[in-house]
Structure 1
């Protein structure tokens, strides 16, 4: 019986075990796979597979995820971490896996998930899923740079266990408030960088109330003005160690009140790129743990407070790009507390510190020293020679001088960055010197290195940036230079006198992005270059062979400058190979023929300069593709035809347009007024006829003080200056020059174009009046309409052009008087109104009377200063006043005689009034009283003799004055 019962019990257990195996998938039980003893939860595995199905995995990073038998253990999948005891999925590490798509709601099945990292993927502007707020065990959430959009779901406030949250660098909607954030009482790391918090006025209150917050990153959040209150001081987090509020222009000095009461544990503070003004406050002196302080790119003035010199933990101090000033000795005195021993990084570039270089022996730990763009002077060698730990040295753009010797540089075996440009240094290196360092960056612009190419360069194997421009090298480039194992990205040998031919460098320096050999004496055919090149400047040399160069290269060149060479051929029709071009400069050559139609392939073009050649024919219609063009200079050619209407219709982004000195004819179409961004318009010296368009007031950039900075992924454009940017920062400056008729002369403008606003329509065949609307262009600085057939009057409101510095209306047919408003042109430095039909008095003003009379000549009717011709009314008044002038010539009796004249005038007037009144009274009396009549006639007999003498004397005086 017992045996039977035992057998039944075993059968029952076996049946139950079998049933459990069959029901396992449905019940979500775990299954053992392999020998690693890690168990996988089936419903969580299915959730992950659904998550994968919602994604595009072009890089196969999730290839280990699958439903095959060999892939059933989700705990062994790439990026998945499970609990070793329970098999529950705890963590998903999928950062920067190249995934695209959407975040599937299936992840809600991962109830035990504590870590979700999806940063650096592309979720196609989808929204942050609300269900994430239901993952109640989540401690780590990283969605940084995941291309998410829409609002931040308030459900994230339910994650009370969350310690790490990073939503930075997405396209999230303007955040109205951060109230949801106040519920994350466990949060330690918070990064909302690059999100728009511009109206989240509660940001300071919320972050101050997070008791465990230790790292706060709010870079570039458009934070509203920080306001403080006593409550914030009470609730402020005392655990903050890292704080980044950089690049928030509304942040001002009021933030220091909050910092003063926030935390004494701060080790990292970044307040750079804000609007902080005044002196650097002493608030940082209370931060006993401070290690790195970033205050660069603000508006601080004065010097360094003594409190900074007493922080014994401070090793990084970044104060560049402020208005710090003062003498050197005073400036560095306050850093000589215990900070002098700990300080390793000191950046003071871009300030106004002046005086001789101080001795840095008191800062023995310095690794990085940036004193660039200040006013330091004197020698350097003995001031820095003891900085044996130096790795980074930037002294560019000061007034330093002296010899940079190998004995000095040999003191810095760890040096990797050396920038000495734009000083008056002279090098002194022996031919066989071998430096103890390996540089990544070497900038020696404007140092005196020549005449020979520096031989020690061949010892440097790690160079990425090399600038030896304007260093007086008159040598050829040695052969060994082309064989070095450089990883050069930037090479600048411009503004020297280097000779010879260039080899085929297409396979040399294959990573080279920027090459500038301009302003040298290179000759021969243009070299083949690497397909990785983005900027090539070979201008101002003696190169030839444009056709073979343009038609044999297929690359990604964005900037090509071959101006001022010996290119004497037709422009080849090969631009379809250069579709990445943004700048093309072929000016100052001997190119002829028509502009090829394939130039229209350059749809990314921002700047085109073909000036000073012999190009002919009409502008090809393919130029209509230049919808991004900002700069077009075609002056000094033989181009003909009408000015196309599509210039205004499709090139509406133009800032500078010069068609000067060609053979264009016809009228200026109204479409030109669509150029609302235009700052410089030059159509002078053509055969253009018709009237000046009445719609010039549409030139918005001339009517308002606005910015025309155009920014894209690779570059910035501001007038003719163009700069390239990469991950390394700005590393190439180049300019396109424009010839400007300015104040009667011709100037070449490049980077200094600045805020120029100019219209030049001179030497054409224009007729009609000056449109009244031109007076609305209040930012205009130069206006030249000379040498036309314009008629009518000068606009009465021309005085509204208060910024005008140059005005030339000469050699036209203007008539009428000069507007009285012209006296308001206070900045006018050049004026020419000669050879018109102007008349009337020149308005009296400090400016107009200061010009040479020749600028008014040829106007028969003009009068008044500075002309010697007097106006008719002045001549009349002079006749009446000749008496006074004569008295001046007679020895200074003018004032005396004038007083007499005034006396007699008063006397005669008084006599007149008295006579009238007396005569009436006497007549009445004589009629009424006989005895009075006898006495009156007796008085007249006695008075006649006195009157006779008086009249004769004064008559003689008046006759004498009249004859004189």
Structure 2
């Protein structure tokens, strides 16, 4: 009985223990799994994850599986969470690119066993990297790249002795003074600090070389400091490196070669693009026998390809674009005919100066990518590429290639997805019903001959994203099938053709289309309704009408709009409140009239506006002062009136170009315009502006210094004497960009670099007063036109400081005085007009001033000297008397001797003249008193007159003066 009771008590106690254990599980920190794998989920860690979720905004419901409900209690089954199969501890948290926003909660510190943490590609609102992360001692993988983090790097990260992978790139972290903390990461294998500011971290090379297991190093765009030869003496190269990315560091130059030489054993990838490598391509790369990818593009390398590169049998990708490589094609490809020719898959040689006929690319049977664009290749393609059956990417644009591209040739490339043939002399000859074997995503055929019909084979392409058929000779209408294609086009350019007809409703076509350029065609009818996805629209130089309906239809995120040179004949509608994203607006060269609408002031992001060559009237609306980001404002050739508002200078300080010429503006030039410190082109000419030129012109800083501004070149070109806005989208970066400024028939072309242009034009107004002396401080000024005013005073004596001046027009004013001697320093002067003023004196002698046509100095009675035919008074010789003797003297003596004689005669004339006047009149007075003396002395004067003519008098005027004096004396003696 006792035994039975004992056994029953034991069973009872066991049951009670099991029930108690089940009740105590939550308290002990774990619960049973609900999933199929029967893993445990630690309650403490589950609560920590839920607390982490509270600090986040999950717009995409990525964390919808995280919760407290019974079905969601097992955190090991949550999205992005991975646990240990035996213990249930959370080991990995993978939440990269989930669209999460918020902050990283310190609750994660409870995940003691966490070894893998990836939060990259989310938005943590510019918060700092939390220091508690350094307490996660078991971390082996930490990825926080592109997570919108800021502040300093916690030096405690150096405590991660087990860390193998660290990526903190593409954040907003503070500059790093040194990388000493990295030296403690003895287990690190992958390190990515791209976009860190390491400009003062002079120990970077020493630290990374000392990491014994480092195999992958990414320091892209880190502003790495210079490497000095002396610093390499005490640095051991990293033998474990296989992947090295140091691109876009302007201070990295060829001095890195010795370090690479000792690190080259296992290198598979080397990225040194966009640096300052100079000279020949270093032979050091030939020692990298395991090298697969070499990126040296966008440097300053010269010469050809070293033969050592051709001997790397593993080389698959070779990028040498955008350098100064030059020489004959055959020399280039001869050095690539080692074993590399069989492995090479990508060959990029674009933007160099390689010349010669297209080589036989058949020697590269594995080639998938070929870029020889923007070189000097000539001849035909023919069979030179016909055997590259694996070809996927072909870019041959902007060479001197010619001939026919046939469907037979292109049919050899079934894998082709990128085709760029633009800017050659190529003709595409395809049959109407040709069906290509490929599906392109990018097709660029600019300036190839396709027309007159629209190419029908494009109807077979379903994956097109970028399509450029500009300037291809198409003159018929666009076929209806084109508008029904299931394209996902982002970019469509059919400009510079003669395509006619009307456009359909573009809003229902190409729903993903972002950029549309149909400019310079013969389209007509109303402006089309456009897609809300469209960001750039260029319909200029057509025959469209119907601006009102177009502008007053809501358009979404349009940024660039060019409707210039159409048949728009109406008032500009007051509906711009719907265009809040607009940056560029061009309505020039139409027949628009009425006032500038007030709603245009709601375009607070506007960078460039052109309303020129219309019939707009009235004053500038006050609301325009809200457009504080304006850099280009063109309102020329209208009928605008009123005074030029002072708020242009006060509110639009970013202006680079301001053109108000050929309007009806009146009043004076407000001194506030001197606040335009970025102005480079100021044109107020052909108005009725009065008053004086502001004395503060020296405050126009951009006229006095070289200041580069990418916005100038990015958005603006001038086409001949006219201009239009243009954004360089797609694959083209070699478009012809010209800035043309004309002065009195002379044309100055500033090419792509409009940032160099500096011009002030105040011509044909009613300005008075003088030229401010401060204008001489605008030493970068290239053109100055003040003609056709009522300006007075003298030309500033230091105007010669404007050494960059290429055009100077001061004609038709009232300037007086002599030309400043400093003008001989205007060495670049290509146009000069000083005509019709009151200038006098000798024209300064200099190579430039004497080269201009004499008509540019006419109307100034007092000017003399070359290039004018009028000689200086002292250079004019008499035709009588002693002139013959002087000529004989000049023929006998040297120029220096003649100069001495001229100086002698000048002194003699002056002394004789003064002495003769005093003595002569004294004698005359004496003769008046004594008659006998008068007759005797008068006979002597007759002989004296002849002697004076021969010896002293240089011209008729001097002879007449002597005769007059003698007659007076004779009359007095009688």
TM-score (norm 1): 0.90
1:639 partnered with 2:640: yes
Deviation at residue 835 of structure 1 after TM alignment: 1.0
Report the Cα distance in structure 2 between the residues aligned to 1:139 and 1:654, rounded to whole angstroms. Answer: 53
8 A Cα contact 1:719 1:754, kept in partner: no
Once the two structures are TM-superposed, the CA of residue 12 in structure 1 deviates from its matched residue by 4.3
Partners of 1:268 and 1:722 in 2: how far apart?
A: 41
Residue 383 of structure 1 corresponds to which residue in structure 2?
Answer: 384
**TM alignment of 1:648-659, pairs within 5 A:** 648-659=649-660
**Aligned counterparts, 1:117-132, within 5 A:** 117-132=118-133
Deviations 1:335-387 (A, max 9, x none): 01011111111000000001111111111111111010000111111211111
Q: Check the 8 A contact 1:402/1:425 in 2, yes or no.
A: yes
Comparing 220-229 and 559-568, the one that deviates more:
220-229
Cα shift at 1:236? 2.2
CA displacement 1:833-876 (0-9 Å, x = unmatched): 11111111111111111111111111111121111222334448
Contact kept, 8 Å, 1:186 with 1:212, in 2: the verdict is: yes
Q: Is the alpha carbon distance of 1:54 and 1:877 closer, same or farther for their aligned partners in structure 2, counting shifts above 3 Å?
A: farther
- Contact kept, 8 Å, 1:613 with 1:636, in 2: the verdict is yes
| Higher mean C-alpha deviation, range 173-182 or range 474-483 | 474-483
Q: Match of 1:431, SS?
A: coil
Q: What SS class does the counterpart of residue 552 from structure 2 fall into?
A: helix
Contact 1:30 1:87 in 2 (8 A): no
Q: Which residue of 2 aligns with 1:445?
A: 446
Query: Deviation digits for residues 135-183 of structure 1, max 9, x if unmatched?
Result: 1110000001111111000111010100110001110001111111111
Once residues 782 and 503 of structure 1 are traced to their aligned partners in structure 2, the CA distance between those partners, rounded to angstroms, is 47
Q: Which residue of 2 aligns with 1:601?
A: 602
Matched, 1:178 2:175: no
Distance across 1 between alignment mates of 2:500 and 2:750: 28
2:24 and 2:230 map into 1 onto residues whose CA distance is: 62
Q: Indicate the residue corresponding to 1:820 in structure 2.
A: 821
Cα shift readout 1:394-442 (whole Å, capped 9, x = no counterpart): 1100011011111111121211111111110112222222222221111
Instruction: For residues 2-29 of structure 1, give each alpha carbon's deviation from its aligned partner in whole angstroms, at most 9, with x where no partner exists.
Output: 3343344444444544554444434335
Distance 2:331 2:560 in 1: 46
Q: What is the aligned partner in structure 2 of residue 694 from structure 1?
A: 695
Q: Does 1:188 align with 2:189?
A: yes
Counterpart-to-counterpart distance in 2, 1:15 and 1:630: 83
Supply the distance in 1 between the matched residues of 2:279 and 2:827 (Cα, whole angstroms).
34
Structure 2 equivalent of residue 285 of structure 1: 286
Question: Per-residue CA shift, 1:733-765, capped at 9, x if unaligned?
Answer: 798x97734354477988563511100000001
**Distance in 2 between residues matched to 1:880 and 1:281, nearest whole Å:** 82
- Which is worse superposed, 21-30 or 548-557? 21-30
Q: Which residue of 1 aligns with 2:253?
A: 252
Give the aligned partner of residue 710 of structure 2: 709
CA–CA distance in structure 2, aligned partners of residues 621 and 897 of structure 1: 69
Alignment of 1:55-74 (within 5 A): 55-74=56-75
- For 1:734 and 1:230, how far apart are their aligned partners in 2? 45
Q: Is residue 514–residue 732 contact of structure 1 (8 Å, CA) maintained in 2?
A: no
Query: Deviation string for 1:508-528 (max 9, x for gaps)?
Result: 111111111111111222122
CA contact (8 A) 1:127 1:149 kept: yes
Aligned twin of 1:676: 677
Contact residue 716 and residue 727 of structure 2 kept, 8 A: no
Q: Deviations over 1:873-895 (max 9, x none)?
A: 44489999946642179xx5557
Residues 475-514 of structure 1: pairs in structure 2 closer than 5 A = 475-514=476-515
Counterpart residue number, 1:938:
none
Find the counterpart in structure 1 of residue 916 from structure 2: none
| In 2, Cα distance between equivalents of 1:738 and 1:631 | 14
Is 1:348 matched up with 2:353?
no
Change (3 A) 1:402 1:646: same
**Shift in CA distance, 590/718, structure 1 to aligned 2, threshold 3 Å:** closer
Query: 1:488, CA displacement in angstroms?
Result: 1.4
Change (3 A) 1:682 1:962: closer
Q: Which residue of 2 aligns with 1:788?
A: 789
For structure 1, the 5+ residue unaligned runs are 906-955
Change (3 A) 1:706 1:894: closer
RMSD (Å) for aligned C-alpha atoms: 2.7
Determine the C-alpha separation between the residues in 2 that align with 1:729 and 1:424. Answer: 19
Contact residue 66 and residue 72 of structure 2 kept, 8 A: yes
Give yes or no for contact 2:881–2:949 (8 Å, CA) kept in 1. Answer: no
SS for the counterpart of 2:26 is: helix
Moved more, 486-495 or 20-29: 20-29
Question: What does 1:949-960 align with in structure 2 at a 5 Å threshold?
Answer: none
Deviations 1:243-283 (A, max 9, x none): 11011111111111111111311111110011111100011
Q: CA distance change for structure 1 residues 722 and 182 in 2, over 3 Å: closer, same or farther?
A: farther
> Which aligned pairs between 1:230-629 and structure 2 lie closer than 5 A?
235-629=236-630
1:154-173 matches, within 5 Å, as: 154-173=155-174
- Secondary structure in 1 matching 2:690: strand
SS in 2 for 1:795: coil
Rounded Cα–Cα distance in structure 1 between residues aligned with 2:289 and 2:793: 77
Contact 2:270 2:294 in 1 (8 A): yes
For the Cα contact (< 8 Å) 1:723–1:733, is it kept in 2? no
8 Å CA contact 1:775–1:797 kept in 2: the answer is yes
Aligned to 2:107: 106
Residues 21-51 of structure 1: CA deviation (Å, up to 9, x unaligned): 4444343355454553111112111211221
- Which sections of structure 2, spanning at least 5 residues, go unmatched? 719-723, 905-945, 955-974
In the alignment, which residue of structure 2 is the partner of 1:777? 778
Separation of aligned partners in 2, 1:859 and 1:315: 74
Whole-Å Cα distance in 2 between the matches of residues 752 and 695 of structure 1?
28
- Listed one character per residue, the Cα deviations across residues 701-753 of structure 1 (whole Å, up to 9, x for unaligned) are 11101112249xxx955777866588x77689798x97734354477988563
Q: Deviations over 1:430-463 (max 9, x none)?
A: 2222222221111111111112222222222221
Partners of 2:717 and 2:726 within 8 A in 1: no
User: 8 Å contact 2:840–2:863 — kept in the other structure?
Assistant: yes
Report the CA distance shift for 1:733/1:506 in structure 2 as closer, same or farther (over 3 A).
farther
The answer for the alignment partner of 1:217 in structure 2 is 218
- The 1-side partners of 2:11 and 2:125 are apart by 58
Give the 3 Å change call, closer, same or farther, for CA 679–580 of structure 1 in structure 2: same
* CA–CA distance in structure 1, aligned partners of residues 591 and 896 of structure 2: 78
Distance 1:884 1:221, change over 3 A: farther
Q: 1:617 to 1:959 in 2, by over 3 A?
A: closer
SS at match of 2:458: helix
1:895/1:74 Cα in 2 relative to 1: closer, same or farther (>3 Å)? Answer: closer
Q: Deviations over 1:801-829 (max 9, x none)?
A: 00000001111111111111111100011
Shift of 1:473: 1.4
Give 2:941's aligned residue: none
Matches within 5 A, 1:14-25: 14-25=15-26
- Cα pair distance change 1:733/1:508, threshold 3 Å: farther
* Counterpart Cα distance in 2 of 1:511 and 1:234: 53
Find the aligned partners of 1:230 and 1:873 in 2 and give their Cα distance: 72
Partners in 2 of 1:98 and 1:485 — Cα distance? Answer: 30
Q: Deviation at 1:565?
A: 1.0
Instruction: Provide, for residues 625-684 of structure 1, a one-character-per-residue CA deviation record: whole Å limited to 9, x for no partner.
Output: 111111111100000000011111111111001000000000010110111110100000
Q: Which residue matches 1:767?
A: 768
Describe the superposition over 1:892-949 as per-residue Cα deviations: whole angstroms up to 9, x where unpaired: 55579989x99xx9xxxxxxxxxxxxxxxxxxxxxxxxxxxxxxxxxxxxxxxxxxxx
For the residue of structure 2 that corresponds to 1:254, the secondary structure is helix
The 1:54/1:881 distance shift into structure 2, 3 A limit, reads farther
Contact in 1 for aligned 2:639/2:664 (Cα 8 Å): yes
Distance 1:585 1:718, change over 3 A: closer
- How far has the Cα of 1:66 moved from its partner? 2.1
TM-score by length of 2: 0.89
Contact 1:606 1:630 (8 Å CA) reproduced: yes
